[in-house]
Amino acid sequence: MNLVNYLMYDGNCEQAIEFYQDKLDADVLFKSYFSEMPESDDPNCQIPPGAEDKIMHATLKVGESELMMCDDPSGQSTSFTGFAISISVKSASLATQYFDALALDGEISMPLAETFWSEAFGMLTDKFGVSWMISYDGGKMSAN
């Protein structure tokens, strides 16, 4: 089994993809727009009005993981609450790099600092409203 986060944006998925490419060195594995949907007589498979240039589905490779995303075609406001995406990195300097990059125009809820379980841990919400936890445990969580 493989659990993958799937984020639904409120019309700004394309900007989020570009942000994560720049800040997290993410690679786009797949990206399609609603305008690329094949024609169908099925009323449930129609391009939502005004969504032609919006992201129907995208998959990003972030480190060793995948992150999926789209623009929500329902027209309802999206809200990223009740979860955070956790990134575990291999050095304190990389934790600082990613934390500072994701915090740009976002909101820091816990500054990156040493804790009893981690050499570097911090929490923030990025400018798209997605919550992140960045950590480098430095071997503190490893079994002896």
Residue 4 phi, psi (nearest 5): -130, 130
Q: Please write the tens of the pLDDT for every residue from 108-129.
A: 999 999 999 999 999 999 999 9
Residue type at 94 in one-letter notation: L
Q: Where are the domains positioned within the chain?
A: 1-78, 79-144
Is residue 139 over pLDDT 90?
no
Residue type at 135 in one-letter notation: S
Q: Thinking of the domain 1-78, which architecture would CATH place it in?
A: 2-Layer Sandwich (3.30)
Give the pLDDT of residue 142: 60
Q: What is the mean pLDDT of residues 124-136?
A: 97
C-alpha torsion sign, points 95, 97, 100, 103: negative
CATH topology of domain 79-144: 2,3-Dihydroxybiphenyl 1,2-Dioxygenase; domain 1 (3.10.180)
pTM: 0.88
CA angle 68/73/78 to nearest 5° reads: 70
| pLDDT band for position 144 (cuts 50, 70, 90) | very low
Other Cβ atoms closer than 10 A to 105: 9
